[in-house]
Chain A
């Protein structure tokens, strides 16, 4: 073992340094900022500092008092001038639905109010200002650091009294979604193994010239654009598509009984299995190529039937490939976005699609960050396992 301060080790580290720095800046730091968003959100705390500070003293049940109302009125007007009120409103609204319009409208109507008492003025604008739950929502949204996105991501919430409780049944989505993503990914991994194992076996023990040709059948899809493959599946599986036309022409189904094979979970599973199958076949093939075929012949000549010889001789030696391929396919499957988004319809969406939804549509970036954080933790765990079992440097491509 060379000491870390010898010249060759400095030289090696120096060669790797530019890329380490590059990946650090262009990849690791961006991931970090995203994860930070899942626990850190200063918008409300910055826009309503006095209100939030006063509310920290409040007992949470009684009337918060004129001082709080006055601070809120002043800061809502300022937030409106600074154009941050919309962002404040959406954050408060996420804690307690319905408050978005209350906050926005109050900011506007307060302009007409010249002087206090502010409590009466605010309650006059909207009766919700008399409800302690409104103030509780503002106080919660005013936390700079929060665990609520992570609680939310596992279908929990923090009650006004600080206790952690399950979300109401209609808002419990994410635990089931993580579960679905895991089950679907496991299913796809199993399908890939089932389809990939016999193919890898055939290629690994074919004469070299034919093996090269057969391998092309695996490598052509591997190199073909993902969007092309997804388009192909839409063309094949849609209700007026090739497969349905063929089934109708063969008389297997009636023209009115065309199968719904795309824009649902079936579409997701079929297209993802197709996309990920090469990632199973290639590692299986590299391992199987090293298993001498004479061993199987010897076992069979000694009287073991194929099933016994396979179970005792071949399968154990191919396990390294099974592990490598399965882990790789599973890691890729649980984070998959493109295929489910394009062919999954409503029922075929996975966790990545909800992260995209919260990034682009609901703009709940904190929740997107928390869901992403949990997914990333799963992937890192599996990646470490992969490194342990296979070794990342032995990842083989094409």
Chain B
């Protein structure tokens, strides 16, 4: 085989790889991006009208956004989602950070078992968690209450906090705590002045994960929420099930913007913690 042949062949291979990756990236992102222009459709269709393709300003409108803003159900859904999400996140972050501090210690007994138990809500099929929680919280009288959903979502969110904080702690230099102690700081001062500032990015990104989990959770909500606890995902579920309306595309666009903001926040925190993306 001549050198030119080899080069040509590898060039072709590389090109094919690039093209395939381009298509796969398109598969990942295009379905999400398509929603955005369609949410400005002046007609009640889910596809691009001829006017939209001609970029005729008449073919675009804010009517679906107005409809969402005028519909009290979406506003109530947002209020419920925010309340349940924030309360569950506070609970999950506090408990998860404490547990991660324990788990990061080499002295932790039954470390592997405890870790497995604490991560299990993340991998258990949601339908099973939701069914179990429905039975249990109903007997306690917590179903159809905000409290029940906060507890359920906190349980589902804790694994994310445990994972991110543990990951930050493994990168943590234990000598810093020892140095603080040798300089006379007690355990509480050491935690507050040395450990906490260093693990803060991990704690905050864990909290963001927990919030995103609650904010997007629908299965437990389907089983446990009453009319007064309807969240945004629950509203969307009803919309998809019954009659999908273009107003949902407006809500979806809002959620996409929200997701991008969350992602930027998590990446920024990751960079601050000095870890490369995806690690």
A383 pairs with B219, CB closer than 8 A: no
B131 pairs with A355, CB closer than 8 A: yes
Instruction: Answer whether residue B60 sits at the interface, using C-beta atoms and an 8 A cutoff.
Output: no
User: Chain A 351-371, CB within 8 Å of chain B: the 1/0 string?
Assistant: 010011001100001001100
Known: A11-B105, A338-B219. A234 touches B263 (CB 8 A): no
B17 pairs with A336, CB closer than 8 A: no
Within 8 A of B (CB), among A201-240: 201-203, 208, 211-212, 214-236, 238, 240
Within 8 A of A (CB), among B151-209: 151-152, 154-155, 158, 160, 162-164, 166-167, 209
Within 8 A of A (CB), among B98-137: 98-99, 101-103, 105-109, 112, 114-129, 131-137
Instruction: Answer whether residue B29 sits at the interface, using C-beta atoms and an 8 A cutoff.
Output: yes
A335 pairs with B128, CB closer than 8 A: yes
Instruction: Answer whether residue A169 sits at the interface, using C-beta atoms and an 8 A cutoff.
Output: no
Once bound together, how far apart are the Cα atoms of A98 and B46, in whole Å? 46
User: Chain A 5-42, CB within 8 Å of chain B: the 1/0 string?
Assistant: 01011011111111110110011111111110100000
B155 pairs with A372, CB closer than 8 A: no
Smallest beta-carbon distance B216→chain A, Å: 5
B99 pairs with A19, CB closer than 8 A: yes
B38 pairs with A23, CB closer than 8 A: no
A11 pairs with B24, CB closer than 8 A: no
Once bound together, how far apart are the Cα atoms of A18 and B132, in whole Å? 21
B236 pairs with A227, CB closer than 8 A: yes
Known: A238-B46, A242-B48. A233 touches B125 (CB 8 A): no
A31 pairs with B263, CB closer than 8 A: no
- Which chain A residue has the least Cβ–Cβ distance from B121? A27
Identify A6's interface contact among B28, B107, B236, CB under 8 A. Answer: B107
Q: Considering only CB atoms and an 8 Å cut-off, how many residues of chain B contact the other chain? A: 97
Within 8 A of B (CB), among A275-326: 277-278, 282, 285-286, 289, 305-306
Instruction: Answer whether residue A113 sits at the interface, using C-beta atoms and an 8 A cutoff.
Output: no
Contacts of A337 in B (CB 8 A): 125-127, 219
Instruction: Answer whether residue B85 sits at the interface, using C-beta atoms and an 8 A cutoff.
Output: no
A379 pairs with B259, CB closer than 8 A: no
Identify A235's interface contact among B17, B35, B241, B267, CB under 8 A. Answer: B35
Smallest beta-carbon distance A290→chain B, Å: 10
A226 pairs with B216, CB closer than 8 A: yes
A387 pairs with B95, CB closer than 8 A: no
Smallest beta-carbon distance A159→chain B, Å: 30
Instruction: Answer whether residue A195 sits at the interface, using C-beta atoms and an 8 A cutoff.
Output: yes
Within 8 A of A (CB), among B31-54: 31-32, 34-35, 38, 45-48
Instruction: Answer whether residue A54 sits at the interface, using C-beta atoms and an 8 A cutoff.
Output: no
Smallest beta-carbon distance A213→chain B, Å: 10
A31 pairs with B47, CB closer than 8 A: no
Identify B163's interface contact among A28, A225, A397, CB under 8 A. Answer: A397
Instruction: Answer whether residue B13 sits at the interface, using C-beta atoms and an 8 A cutoff.
Output: yes
Once bound together, how far apart are the Cα atoms of A387 and B113, in whole Å? 10
Tally the A-B contacts, defined by beta carbons under 8 Å.
303
Identify B27's interface contact among A29, A195, A359, CB under 8 A. Answer: A195
Instruction: Answer whether residue B83 sits at the interface, using C-beta atoms and an 8 A cutoff.
Output: no
Identify A228's interface contact among B128, B155, B255, CB under 8 A. Answer: B255
Within 8 A of B (CB), among A340-398: 342, 352, 355-356, 359-360, 365, 368-369, 372, 375-376, 379, 383-384, 386-387, 392-393, 395-398
User: Chain B 242-279, CB within 8 Å of chain A: the 1/0 string?
Assistant: 00100011001001100110110011000000001111
B240 pairs with A342, CB closer than 8 A: yes
- Which chain A residue has the least Cβ–Cβ distance from B153? A26
Instruction: Answer whether residue A245 sits at the interface, using C-beta atoms and an 8 A cutoff.
Output: yes
Smallest beta-carbon distance A352→chain B, Å: 4
Once bound together, how far apart are the Cα atoms of A20 and B120, in whole Å? 11
Instruction: Answer whether residue B20 sits at the interface, using C-beta atoms and an 8 A cutoff.
Output: yes
A27 pairs with B278, CB closer than 8 A: no
User: Chain B 200-236, CB within 8 Å of chain A: the 1/0 string?
Assistant: 0000000001001001101100010000000001001
A227 pairs with B216, CB closer than 8 A: yes
Once bound together, how far apart are the Cα atoms of A85 and B167, in whole Å? 56
26 contacts between A and B (CB under 8 A): A9-B105, A11-B107, A12-B107, A13-B108, A19-B96, A19-B118, A22-B154, A23-B155, A28-B117, A30-B135, A198-B20, A218-B28, A223-B212, A223-B262, A231-B35, A232-B252, A235-B47, A238-B46, A242-B48, A277-B27, A338-B219, A355-B128, A360-B223, A383-B116, A387-B112, A398-B278
Interfacial residues, chain A to chain B (CB-CB below 8 A)? 2, 4, 6, 8-9, 11-20, 22-23, 26-35, 37, 195, 198-199, 201-203, 208, 211-212, 214-236, 238, 240-242, 245, 274, 277-278, 282, 285-286, 289, 305-306, 331-332, 334-338, 342, 352, 355-356, 359-360, 365, 368-369, 372, 375-376, 379, 383-384, 386-387, 392-393, 395-398
Q: What are the 8 closest A-B residue pairs judged by CB atoms, nearest first?
A: A335-B125, A15-B102, A30-B136, A16-B102, A30-B132, A8-B107, A19-B99, A34-B132
